[in-house]
């Protein structure tokens, strides 16, 4: 190789000679539902609108709001149904009442249990350790973005997943002036990075690699952990491609990767690294697809998001529960439960438990499944069962009352049946003797075939006689019943 060619190769950006792509079809991976991750997404259904409504009510000096105000803010609160139906669905959180002078419109306030949880949540937001953790997450997000800044409306969309308090602009950002600051006018305000921190600019994958390999250097291959859903299958071609893809150099998501060809496998792995780091920064290790698309332009992965999220089912999972698409980091969950313990997830679990609790006789009763319908149905079934038991007891009383009168009649019928049976037995004996004498006289004149034929004929008269005797017995019982019905009434004592 000539010195000039060697110089030109060395002057190229890192990994620029690896611009090739071997994977051709994004639809080759068959989508398989993951029940555990779907449950993790569905478990928080209606939690966000409930917390938003709670925060809106709490801002009022009277700690209550008319339902019309909640209805006017339905879109910003993200309430999925009619506000009054949503409020009545969670009686353990909201209380509906009619204040004096406004009987035509219900007002909503928080229950004592919801107020207690809110007080506990505020203590968590005000703790120094929590503030430092959230500030580090926001700083890492700014370091991940191009230009190291984000519009405040994008931050607002990610506020729930970052764990920011509702008043973060006043309570959090001013306390970390060395991290970030708000600049710009009211309509175009952005949150920009103030100081780059190298320690926070290291991805979670690089930290794990450094912990396992002492001589790790940037640009070395790092394999992503794979967690395929139950029932997922790959052919040999896909397995070969995944093995090749895992051995590609790992480009840090905090690096500028504009030198990579957008359609190369190296660019695809960098986009996966960005998505992986983003989801790891978020507290629940998941976020709505729209949030990622909104961030895509600032992260530099907007055109690569679809390929990165769909071509790697062992790393990401796209859930379609709760009426939207949610991107989940599989590495962050085990059997549908979040692995990382965080104060915010514990706090939200308490809210979910309160949502799934119904009130009865001033007592809180936990209902599995999040609804009081099962409890109501159980009460209805108990009442129906009690009514049926009462009817059965009445019927048994009627049967027991009639048994004494029937015993006498049964005794008389048994006596008649006994006499009739004895008479039938004597008659059968006489008939049998007569038939036996006739058979002895004719036995010598019959052949073997005739005897077998006549033997079959002898059965018919015997059956006929038996049926005749049974008919006579039945008529005797019937006459006895009629005669009993015509008996004179017993004489009354004088």
pLDDT at 64 over 80: yes
Decide if pLDDT at 110 tops 90. Answer: yes
Inform me whether the pLDDT recorded for 286 exceeds 60: yes
The DSSP secondary-structure symbol of 189 reads -
396, part of any domain:
no
Strand-pair category, 337-338 with 333-334: antiparallel
Q: Is residue 288 part of a domain?
A: yes
Both structure tokens of 202 = 């290291």
Q: Which of 187, 252, 247 is nearest to 218 (CA)?
A: 252
Judge if pTM exceeds 0.95.
no
102 shares a domain with 219: no
Domain boundary among 92, 110, 128: 110
Question: Which of 7, 6, 46 has its CA nearest to residue 352?
Answer: 46
- For residue 400 the two structure tokens come to 């027991």
**Where a domain ends, among 309, 340, 371?**
340
DSSP string, 39-57: HHHHTTTTHHHHHHHHHHH
Q: Which residue has the higher pLDDT, 347 or 105?
A: 347
Of 340, 371, 404, at which residue does a domain stop? 340
**Statement to judge: residues 85 and 102 lie in one domain:** yes
Q: How far apart are CA 452 and CA 106, in angstroms?
A: 99
Separation in Å, CA 260 to CA 147, 266, 362: 18, 7, 64
Residue 433 lies in a domain: no
Confidence of residue 187 (pLDDT cuts 50, 70, 90): confident
> What pLDDT is stored for residue 170 in this prediction?
95
- At 443, the pLDDT band (50, 70, 90 cuts) reads low
**Range of weakest confidence among 41-50, 155-164, 455-464, 466-475:** 455-464
Asked if residue 287 belongs to a domain, the reply is yes
Q: Tell me how far apart the alpha carbons of residues 182 and 169 are, in angstroms, rounded to a whole number.
A: 9
CB 265 within 8 A of CB 22: yes
Identify the burial level of 318 via C-beta atoms within 10 angstroms of its C-beta, where 0-12 means exposed, 13-18 middle and 19 or more buried: middle
Q: Do residue 90 and residue 59 come from a single domain?
A: yes
Three-class SS state of 264: coil
CA-based nearest residue to 250, from 268, 232, 227, 229: 268
Per the DSSP assignment, residues forming a β-bridge with 478 are none
**84 phi, psi to nearest 5 deg:** -65, -35
Q: Are 338 and 345 in contact (CB under 8 A)?
A: yes
Instruction: Identify whether residues 23 and 80 lie together within a single domain.
Output: no
Mark whether 21 and 69 lie in a shared domain.
no
| 219 & 282 share domain | yes
Would 220 be classed as within a structural domain?
Answer: yes
H runs (alpha helix) in 163-203 = 168-171
pLDDT at 492: 42
Q: Which residues of 228-253 are buried (b: 16+ CB within 10 A; e: fewer)?
A: bbeeeebeeeeeebbeebeebebbbb
Distance CA 494, CA 492 (A): 6
> Does residue 219 share a domain with residue 101?
no
User: SS3 of 359, please?
Assistant: strand
**Residue 188 vs residues 63, 183, 270: alpha-carbon distances, Å:** 33, 9, 30
Q: Is residue 298 part of a domain?
A: yes
Q: Looking at the structure, do residues 224 and 299 belong to the same domain, yes or no?
A: yes
Greater pLDDT, 384 or 88: 88
Work out the widest C-alpha separation in the chain, in whole angstroms: 147
Tell me the C-alpha distance between 344 and 48, whole Å: 13
User: Which residues partner with 151 through β-bridges?
Assistant: 190
Which residues neighbour 282 within 8 Å (Cβ) at sequence distance 6 or greater?
A: 137, 158, 161, 162
Sorted by sequence, the CB contacts under 8 Å of residue 24 that are 6+ apart come out as: none
Q: How many domains does the chain have?
A: 2
**Could you give the angle at which helices 112-126 and 128-144 cross, rounded to 10 degrees?**
70
pLDDT at 405 exceeding the cut of 80: no
Encoding tokens for residue 236?
């040999």
Q: Round to whole Å and give the CA distance between 278 and 295.
A: 10
Say if residue 21 is in the same domain as residue 98: no
Q: CA neighbours within 13 Å on the CB side: how many for 99?
A: 11
Residue 491 lies in a domain: no
**Same domain for 283 and 234:** yes
Identify the domain containing residue 317 by its residue range: 12-39+214-340
Instruction: Using pLDDT thresholds of 50, 70 and 90, give the confidence band for residue 100.
Output: confident
Given a contact cutoff of 8 angstroms between Cβ atoms, the answer to whether 173 and 191 are in contact is: yes
Does 88 share its domain with 31?
no
Residue 286 domain-assigned? Answer: yes
Query: Does 267 lie in the same domain as 252?
Result: yes
């Amino acid at each position: 190789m000539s010195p000039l060619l060697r110089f030109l190769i060395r002057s190229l950006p890192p990994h620029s000679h690896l611009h090739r792509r071997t994977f051709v079809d994004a639809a080759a991976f068959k989508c398989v539902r993951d029940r555990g991750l779907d449950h993790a997404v569905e478990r928080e259904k209606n939690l966000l609108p409930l917390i938003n409504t709670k925060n809106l009510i709490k801002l009022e000096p009277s700690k209550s709001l008319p339902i019309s105000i909640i209805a006017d803010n339905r879109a910003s609160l993200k309430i999925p149904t009619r506000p009054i139906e949503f409020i009545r669905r969670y009686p353990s959180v909201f209380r509906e009442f009619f204040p004096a002078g406004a009987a035509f419109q219900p007002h909503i306030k928080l229950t004592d249990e919801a107020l207690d949880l809110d007080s506990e949540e505020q203590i968590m937001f005000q703790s120094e350790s929590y503030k430092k953790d959230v500030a580090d997450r926001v700083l890492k997000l700014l370091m991940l973005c191009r230009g190291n800044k984000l519009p405040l409306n994008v931050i607002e969309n990610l506020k729930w997943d970052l764990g920011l308090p509702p008043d973060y602009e006043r309570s959090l950002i001013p306390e970390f002036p060395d991290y970030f600051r708000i600049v710009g006018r009211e309509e175009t305000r952005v949150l920009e990075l103030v100081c780059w921190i190298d320690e926070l600019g290291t991805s979670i994958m690089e930290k794990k690699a450094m912990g396992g390999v002492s001589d790790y250097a940037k640009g070395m291959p790092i394999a992503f952990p794979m967690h395929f859903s139950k029932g997922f299958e790959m052919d040999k071609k896909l397995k070969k491609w995944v093995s090749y893809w895992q051995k590609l150099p790992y480009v840090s998501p905090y690096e500028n990767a504009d030198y990579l060809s957008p359609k190369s496998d190296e660019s695809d792995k960098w986009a996966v690294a960005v998505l992986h780091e983003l989801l790891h920064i978020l507290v629940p290790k998941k976020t709505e697809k729209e949030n990622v698309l909104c961030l895509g332009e600032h992260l530099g992965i907007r055109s690569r998001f679809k390929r990165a999220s769909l071509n790697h089912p062992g790393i990401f999972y796209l859930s379609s529960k709760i009426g939207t698409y949610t991107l989940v980091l599989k590495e962050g969950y085990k059997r549908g439960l979040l692995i990382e313990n965080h104060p915010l997830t514990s706090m939200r679990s308490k809210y979910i438990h309160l949502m799934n609790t119904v009130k009865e006789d001033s007592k809180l009763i936990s209902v599995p499944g999040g609804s009081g319908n099962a409890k109501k149905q159980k009460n209805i079934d108990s009442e129906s069962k009690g009514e049926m038991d009462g009817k059965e007891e009445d019927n048994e009383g009627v049967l027991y009352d009639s048994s004494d009168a029937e015993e006498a009649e049964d005794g008389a019928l048994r006596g008649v049946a006994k006499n009739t049976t004895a008479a039938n037995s004597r008659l059968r004996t006489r008939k049998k003797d007569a038939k036996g004498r006739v058979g002895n006289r004719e036995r010598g004149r019959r052949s073997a075939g005739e005897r077998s034929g006549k033997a079959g004929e002898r059965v018919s008269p015997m059956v006929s006689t038996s049926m005749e005797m049974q008919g006579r017995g039945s008529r005797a019982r019937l006459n006895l019943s009629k005669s009993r019905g015509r008996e004179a009434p017993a004489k009354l004592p004088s």
